[in-house]
Amino acid sequence: MHQPVPVFRAADLRACEDRAFMLIAVGIESTVEVHPEGGFVVLVEQPMLAHAQHHLWQYEQERTRRPRQAEVRFTPQPRAWLGSLFYVLVLVAVPVALGQDWLRRDPYESATLNPALMRAGEWWRAVTALTLHWDIGHLAGNLGGGALLGYSAAQIWGNARAWLLVLAAATLANFIEALIGLPGYVSAGASTAVFAMLGLVAAFAWRTRGQRFGNPLARWGPLVAGVAMLGFFGAGSNVPVAGMPAPDPFLLEDAGSTNVLSHLLGFGCGVVAGAVAASARGARAIRSLPTWLAAAIPPVVLAIAWGLAQQPS
- Alpha-carbon distance of 120 to 179, in angstroms, equals 11
CATH number of 81-309: 1.20.1540.10
pLDDT score at 63 = 75
- Alpha-carbon distance of 87 to 82, in angstroms, equals 9
Helix/strand/coil percentages in the chain, nearest 5: 65, 5, 30
Environment class of residue 87 by beta-carbon count within 10 Å: exposed (0-12), middle (13-18) or buried (19+)? buried
At 65-88, the pLDDT tens digits run 654 544 445 578 889 999 999 999
CATH 3.30.70.1530 residue ranges in the chain?
Answer: 4-65
Mean pLDDT for the chain overall:
81
Higher pLDDT, 70 or 91: 91
Instruction: State the pTM of this model.
Output: 0.69
pLDDT score at 96 = 95
Query: Could you give the angle at which helices 13-25 and 49-65 cross, rounded to 10 degrees?
Result: 110
- Alpha-carbon distance of 178 to 155, in angstroms, equals 32
Identify residue 258 by its one-letter amino acid code. T
**Contact yes or no for 108/94 (Cβ under 8 A):** no
**Contact yes or no for 272/218 (Cβ under 8 A):** no
**Contact yes or no for 222/229 (Cβ under 8 A):** no
Look at residues 160, 177, 190 and name the one whose alpha carbon lies nearest to residue 264: 177
Please tell me whether residue 185 adopts helix, strand or coil conformation.
strand
Q: Domain 4-65: give its CATH superfamily.
A: Hypothetical protein rpa1041 (3.30.70.1530)
**Contact yes or no for 177/265 (Cβ under 8 A):** yes
Identify residue 246 by its one-letter amino acid code. A
Look at residues 305, 304, 281, 300 and name the one whose alpha carbon lies nearest to residue 163: 300
Please tell me whether residue 189 adopts helix, strand or coil conformation.
coil
- Alpha-carbon distance of 266 to 87, in angstroms, equals 17
Look at residues 133, 144, 152 and name the one whose alpha carbon lies nearest to residue 225: 152
At 227-252, the pLDDT tens digits run 555 554 554 444 444 434 444 433 33
- Alpha-carbon distance of 219 to 170, in angstroms, equals 25
pLDDT > 70: what percent of the chain?
Answer: 79
At 179-196, the pLDDT tens digits run 987 767 788 999 899 999
CATH 1.20.1540.10 residue ranges in the chain?
Answer: 81-309
